[in-house]
Amino acid sequence: MLQNNITLEQVPQVVASLEQKVDRLVNLVLELKEGKSNIPDQWLDVEGLMAYHPDKPARKTIYDWVTLRRVPYHKDGKRLRFLKSEIDAWLAGGYHKTEDEMQEAHGIDPEIFRNAEFTKSILDGFDPSEFQSDLEAAGFVYVDESQVLRNPADTRTERVFEGDIRGHTDQFVMRFRKPA
């Protein structure tokens, strides 16, 4: 800190010190502006998000957002965690679309996937190659796929949450690369 009584002999040292501090501040502002900050991202819990969010939402509201997949979140065991940078992007409107929003954009009612009653009629014609072509049309590059989750015994006639098929449905795994 600056002393209240600076002598004439101390002025060059004080000016040099101030110049260094201003240079550091300018560099920090430029790093923040370019997104190259060395400041680590901050994790928030539910209480932290309640305090950080400008509307100061209630705890139940945050849990509702998570249930409806309206807010970006991560699970740490049973605990909910939120990355401050993702919340900032979400608040600014530049967040990644949720699964529900992507389904709605393609004309799919997201409630249908939360309903244990959906049956073969919904899955008819669901073709992994169609999924692949949709992603490639969106600009993603197909890398490879795995058969690890495939189950030819799934006839797709049973409800996915019932009986022996629960946890053993026919699924596919594909890997895509985001375009540069």
pLDDT tens readout for residues 41-55: 899 999 999 999 988
Q: Which of 23-37, 94-108, 133-147 has the lowest mean pLDDT?
A: 94-108
Distance, in Å, from the CA atom of 130 to the CA atom of 110, rounded to the nearest integer, reads: 19
Q: For residue 36, what pLDDT is reported?
A: 60
Higher local confidence (pLDDT), 93 or 20: 20
Asked whether the whole model's pTM tops 0.75, one would answer no
Distance, in Å, from the CA atom of 2 to the CA atom of 35, rounded to the nearest integer, reads: 32
Bridge partners, residue 174, by sequence: 145
Q: What is the token pair recorded at 3?
A: 């002393």
Higher local confidence (pLDDT), 95 or 103: 103
What residue spans define the domains of the chain? 1-39, 43-100, 116-177
Higher local confidence (pLDDT), 19 or 130: 19
Distance, in Å, from the CA atom of 52 to the CA atom of 30, rounded to the nearest integer, reads: 25
Distance, in Å, from the CA atom of 145 to the CA atom of 142, rounded to the nearest integer, reads: 9
**Segment 48-72 mean pLDDT:** 90
Contact 120, 157 (CB under 8 A): yes
Distance, in Å, from the CA atom of 141 to the CA atom of 88, rounded to the nearest integer, reads: 29
- Which of 55, 54, 78 is closest to 66 using CA atoms? 78
pLDDT at 6 over 90: no
**Segment 89-102 mean pLDDT:** 65
pLDDT at 110 over 70: no
